[in-house]
Amino acid sequence: MLRSQLDTIPMGDMKDVHPESAVRDLIKQAQRHGPIFQLPLPDGTRRIVLSSFALVDEVCNDQFFDKRVSVNVRSLRSAIGSGLFSADTSDSNWRKAHTILMPSFSLQAMRNYVPMMVDAAEQLMAKWEHLNPEDLINVPDDMTRVTLETIGLCGFSYHFHAITREQMHPFVEAMVHILSTTAARATRPPIEEKLRFRQRRQLQADLDLLLSTADQLVRERKMMGTEGQKYNDLLNAMLNGVDKQTGEKLDDVNIRNQIITFLIAGHETTSGLLSFATYFLLHHPDVLNRAYEEVDRVLGRDTRKTPTYEQIHQLVYIKQILKETLRLCPTAPMFNRYPYEERLLAGKYQLQPSDTITALTPMLHRDRSIWGDDAEIFNPDHHFNPEAEKQRPANAYKPFGTGQRACIGREFALQEATLVLGMMLQRFYPYTTGIYQLKIREALTIKPADFYMRVRPRTDID
Ligand code: HEM
């Protein structure tokens, strides 16, 4: 095909994209420019933003496309080192870590995590049981506490005491600073960066905190000697796992990077999922009632018996609620790809290996050709009952990314979130007073901002 016969990709407006609202800004531009548009990146290459199923479907093909580690994640990587999430697929450490850590996410591993997940969820329930009727719950804050405690226990057999401590654990504050600072840094010229002395000092202090947390986990485990090897957790897989293909283990620096990666990736997005799901439940009484009906049928009303693995997986409507939540509010709202070679997209758009092709998930998940005219409506039953799931094309729903670089923790996240939501509804009536207009806070992931609720124990009412 002659170059003159190719379609030009519409140009978006870079000045309308700001680090603190990048996702919402890209959505606005997609609504203005359509399912494909481009933006210049600071290094002279292009970002091409895709919103429709037809276009995203093509770039999900692992044979011709790979994950592009975005400018923001490269900036994060230069600060916290290369882990499973931030490594290039060609980095030999990615394949090694992927192979070594995959068994920690098997079905058997999920079953083994249940007691630890229940431990963390029980702590949150106990905290809420001790509230006065008028006390407000900061929803994203408490969901962050429970998900950090969960990954601490399941991944590292470590109690962060994230739920019981008064202030949020310092790891979370340091992590949020690092995510926002490295994202903003990715948009500035290096010379400007050098002049920001105070910010650089703060970044170093935050990094030191993350590194010392990782080092403490390793030190304490090694001090246990052979006794420590009995733990069936991620940390032991990192320290002792062997890549069967090469016979290699992870080196010390890589282990440190993986610990930080899993502490961040293992709680931040699930916390957003639980917060958005609670928001949707509070605003859809019909869905909430059906969820109560299922929880009472599956878990019963006796809270002294904690949920089993089988019961968690019988909460199918709760899982549908979570999946529908991730459709409308995917907490990791984009993933990036590039073609191995020059390639035509949809037979008419020329793509280059230097391009960063962004699949904008909140728009993909609203494509009416897949989701119908009620794509904007929260409806767990419509899209995610088992029959509808089988009919839907695989690449129409991508909250966990795609192909070999898709999320390693997706079953972990869904199991944990189902348990927390199930236990919340078994014990409480959540409610809000006044009207809450959904606001979003962005820092690599998205979460509701300033979202509060109250809970009443069900025993007070039933
Ligand atoms: C990768 C989403 C929970 C660990 C990803 C990716 C997405 C994602 C979209 C692909 C990113 C890309 O292509 O650049 C989510 C969501 C979660 C969640 C929405 C919760 C609702 C978790 C949990 C863990 C985890 C609980 C660990 C326990 C990872 C890791 C990767 C990853 C290590 C990188 C995998 C690789 O490239 O090999 N996640 N995630 N995630 N996620 Fe998750």
- Tell me the pLDDT tens digit for each residue of 369-395: 999 999 999 999 877 777 888 889 999
* Confidence at residue 201, expressed as pLDDT on a 0 to 100 scale: 85
Separation between Cα atoms, residue 112 and residue 116, nearest integer Å? 8
Over residues 330-371, the pLDDT tens digits come to 999 999 999 999 999 999 999 999 999 999 999 999 999 999
* Confidence at residue 107, expressed as pLDDT on a 0 to 100 scale: 95
Place 155 in a pLDDT band, splitting at 50, 70 and 90.
very high
- Residue 188 pLDDT greater than 70, yes or no: no
- For the chain, what is the mean pLDDT? 92
Residues that are catalytic: 269, 400, 407
Q: What is the mean pLDDT of residues 315-335?
A: 97
- What's the complex ipTM? 0.99
- Residue 357 in 3-state DSSP? strand
Q: How far is CA 28 from CA 24, 35, 143, in A?
A: 6, 12, 29
422 lines ligand 1 (CB under 6 A): no
Separation between Cα atoms, residue 199 and residue 193, nearest integer Å? 9
Place 49 in a pLDDT band, splitting at 50, 70 and 90.
very high
| Best probe residue, ligand 1, of 99, 407, 412, 445 (max atoms within 8 Å of C-beta) | 407
From the alpha carbon of 331, which atom of ligand 1 is closest? Answer: 19
* Confidence at residue 380, expressed as pLDDT on a 0 to 100 scale: 94
Over residues 196-244, the pLDDT tens digits come to 777 778 888 989 999 999 999 999 999 998 888 888 899 999 999 999 8
How many A from CA of 406 to the centre of ligand 1? 7
317 lines ligand 1 (CB under 6 A): no
Phi first, then psi: what are they for 83, rounded to 5°? -120, -175
98 lines ligand 1 (CB under 6 A): yes
How many A from CA of 104 to the centre of ligand 1? 14
Over residues 249-301, the pLDDT tens digits come to 999 999 999 999 999 998 999 999 999 999 999 999 999 999 999 999 999 99
From the alpha carbon of 322, which atom of ligand 1 is closest? Answer: 21
* Confidence at residue 291, expressed as pLDDT on a 0 to 100 scale: 98
From the alpha carbon of 234, which atom of ligand 1 is closest? Answer: 28
418 lines ligand 1 (CB under 6 A): no
27 lines ligand 1 (CB under 6 A): no
Give the residue, by CA position, lying nearest to ligand 1 atom 15: 400
- Residue 460 pLDDT greater than 80, yes or no: no
332 lines ligand 1 (CB under 6 A): yes
Cβ-count burial of 146 within 10 angstroms (0-12 exposed, 13-18 middle, 19+ buried)? buried
